[in-house]
Structure 1
Amino acid sequence: MIEIKGFLETSFLDWPGKLCSVFFLPYCNFRCPYCHNHPLVFNPEQYVTIPLEDILTRLHSLRNWIDGVCLTGGEPTLHADLPLLIREIKRHRFLVKLDTNGSNPQMLENLIETGEIDFVSMDVKAPLDPFRYSRSTGLPINLKPISESIEILKRGKVEYEFRMTVVPGLHREEDIQTLGDQLRVGRRFVLQNFNPENPLDPLLKNSVPYDLKVLKKIEKEVQEIL
């Protein structure tokens, strides 16, 4: 079974409109310079593995409070036994949300078709252009699986959203507009502000995040693109 390297009992931020617990899973195939979970990517062994049985016991004590469980990382779909973890969570009658970078469309589609996930948040890093996407992910990226995952979600067989973390110096307003035009999913496209506290690239610590009011204005504009 997948090693669970972090557990957050309650979060209002990780599942739109729901209160959930969060499982943090190790490793990722991207190297986004603005990633703040990079210790989980490079050195997961520094974190104690939390036994699933212990977490499930705690979840049962929270049953009257939480709506479900969010699986995040790292990149959860790197783990071949992710479906087994999800089935175990579902066996205890909790809803499951998956956070993913969209690099494994085959697993994503299988999880949707078997009804094993209830919500998907896919992080889209930049406009669907090889240069800009690779710059935002920190290594050369094949956009084909990313595009496939986008199309799988847009079929509407599961609730979903696309998220973009907006980073000064990496993303301009026109980049956000371009991606909004490429996705055309209305309010399912949401923007997240960059957090300079602990980025993978230490040079980004000096970057000033976008003004939140400006970001919300841009988000409203791109959500009107249908």
Structure 2
Amino acid sequence: MDISILYRSTQKYYDRKLEPYNITYAQLPILLFIFEEEGITMQKIVEMGSYDKGTVTKNVKKLESLHYVEIVASKEDKRVKHLYTTYQAKQIIAKIYKIRNDWWNHIIQDIDKKQLKLFEKMYSSMCLKANEYANLDLDELRFYEWRKCALNAYPGYISTVLKVGGCNLRCPGCCKKHLVFLKDEQQTIGIQDVKMYLEQNNSNIQAVSIEGGEIGLHPNLSVFFRWLKEKGFLVKVNTNGMYPQLLEYWISNQWVDFVELDLKGTMEDYPKVSGIHDLDTHPILQTLSILSSKRIDHRFTTTLIKEFHNEEKLIEIAKQLGTEAHWIWYAYNEKEESIQKGLHSFSAQEMRLLKEKVESYVGRIEIKCNR
């Protein structure tokens, strides 16, 4: 098949070009994962790259032996290992990016922009479907927290809340560090236990809310969503909005009934509020566009933090959401699991005063003390 030729040709090119650095095509994406997110864990690479754990472990060990990667035990939990690129790796990373860029420019040189955009869309769709099919065994889907009965997760319905692990952002104000930086030995909840509970309690539980971490890192949720809809459950997802194509796929298949989009701040401030200095906000704008089409029930949330929010910034966000939006403001509460310590919260009175200044720009603002 042509796709196999492309894969083999790509592999041969990279193996030849990377030979002076003793790196193979298999190790390249893992090295880039680490460089682009210093401190990442092996478990997160498994989640983000759809690898098996053994493959990641083997390639990380090889990169360590080449002095390109350093493995550092967490100060908080020695069982958790964080990965960092070494000075030696940083010396060659620009050359590696050039190798990748040269290859891409060569293979697309005869493709016009319109064709390339169509190809990227088709390829993205194929990847989603391939990932879904490869994960048809539901036992591979793992959850990291489970609140079996919740009254406020899905508006108007009794629901069960499941949390996936891993996130593409490192928001300073996030209070779920354990779901962002996954521990190698972190306990998980099997899908069969969830299915059994839902089947036994389907007269009481009406909806299932999937939260994170970030749900967009788990395209294999598609199979679970399909099962939930077959059983008659409503499905709600919480997302940071960085995976609009996957969200659109779920919505178009009518597997998701409600979307909660967590907005961190103004688009201009996203590099700061997300912890990713070079973050591209276009996916978030795409997600906002999908939700504005009114094809699905949705609401927006923001955790208010003095370092990131003020009246002017909140008005800017409100104008972007529009006069029909339901926007929930959460008070920031520092916890042991907070990614960055020392951030400051608004008092209840301060939040009420801000609401008075902002609410004329948006449909409805609701203030809540805890997430």
TM-score (structure 1 length as normaliser) = 0.90
Q: Distance in 2 between matches of 1:17 and 1:217?
A: 28
- The aligned counterpart of 1:93 is 232
Q: Distance in 1 between matches of 2:323 and 2:167?
A: 26
- The aligned counterpart of 2:348 is 212
Q: Distance in 2 between matches of 1:111 and 1:222?
A: 33
Q: Distance in 1 between matches of 2:185 and 2:341?
A: 20
- The aligned counterpart of 1:134 is 271
Deviates more, 1:177-186 or 1:103-112: 177-186
Gaps of at least 5 residues in structure 2 are 1-139, 363-371
3-state SS, counterpart of residue 236 of structure 2: strand
Q: Distance in 1 between matches of 2:335 and 2:359?
A: 28
Are 2:193 and 1:54 aligned? yes
Q: Distance in 1 between matches of 2:231 and 2:356?
A: 38
- Identity over the aligned pairs, expressed in percent? 27
State the 1:169 CA deviation.
1.5
Would the alpha carbon gap of residues 202 and 60 (structure 1) be closer, same or farther in structure 2, given more than 3 Å must change?
same
Would the alpha carbon gap of residues 12 and 44 (structure 1) be closer, same or farther in structure 2, given more than 3 Å must change?
farther
CA RMSD of superposed structures (Å)? 1.8
Would the alpha carbon gap of residues 14 and 46 (structure 1) be closer, same or farther in structure 2, given more than 3 Å must change?
farther
- The aligned counterpart of 2:289 is 151
Q: Distance in 2 between matches of 1:210 and 1:37?
A: 20
User: Is contact 2:170-2:275 (8 Å) kept?
Assistant: yes
Structure having the higher helix fraction is 2
State the 1:97 CA deviation.
0.2
- The aligned counterpart of 1:120 is 259
User: Is contact 2:141-2:190 (8 Å) kept?
Assistant: no
1:76 aligns with one of 212, 215, 218: 215
Task: Name which one, 1 or 2, has greater alpha-carbon Rg.
Answer: 2
Are 2:309 and 1:171 aligned? yes
Would the alpha carbon gap of residues 221 and 68 (structure 1) be closer, same or farther in structure 2, given more than 3 Å must change?
farther
User: Is contact 2:300-2:325 (8 Å) kept?
Assistant: no
Q: Distance in 2 between matches of 1:98 and 1:147?
A: 18
- The aligned counterpart of 2:339 is 200
State the 1:55 CA deviation.
1.2
State the 1:115 CA deviation.
0.7
Are 2:3 and 1:3 aligned? no
State the 1:182 CA deviation.
1.6
3-state SS, counterpart of residue 299 of structure 2: strand
Would the alpha carbon gap of residues 93 and 202 (structure 1) be closer, same or farther in structure 2, given more than 3 Å must change?
same
Deviates more, 1:174-183 or 1:144-153: 174-183
User: Is contact 2:236-2:256 (8 Å) kept?
Assistant: yes
1:11-61 Cα deviation digits (max 9, x unpaired): 223223332111110100000011111111112444322111111212233
User: Is contact 1:190-1:219 (8 Å) kept?
Assistant: no
Would the alpha carbon gap of residues 215 and 46 (structure 1) be closer, same or farther in structure 2, given more than 3 Å must change?
farther
TM-score (structure 2 length as normaliser) = 0.56
Would the alpha carbon gap of residues 185 and 70 (structure 1) be closer, same or farther in structure 2, given more than 3 Å must change?
farther
State the 1:223 CA deviation.
3.9
Q: Distance in 1 between matches of 2:264 and 2:168?
A: 13
- The aligned counterpart of 1:32 is 171
Alignment size in residue pairs: 221
Letter aligned with residue 135 of structure 1: K
Q: Distance in 1 between matches of 2:238 and 2:342?
A: 26
Letter aligned with residue 197 of structure 1: K
Deviates more, 1:60-69 or 1:155-164: 60-69
Q: Distance in 2 between matches of 1:172 and 1:116?
A: 37
Deviates more, 1:174-183 or 1:212-221: 212-221
State the 1:112 CA deviation.
1.0
Q: Distance in 2 between matches of 1:30 and 1:75?
A: 9
State the 1:221 CA deviation.
4.8
User: Is contact 1:5-1:44 (8 Å) kept?
Assistant: no
User: Is contact 1:12-1:20 (8 Å) kept?
Assistant: yes
1:51-92 Cα deviation digits (max 9, x unpaired): 111112122333232220100010011112121121122222
Q: Distance in 1 between matches of 2:323 and 2:222?
A: 27
Q: Distance in 2 between matches of 1:188 and 1:150?
A: 13
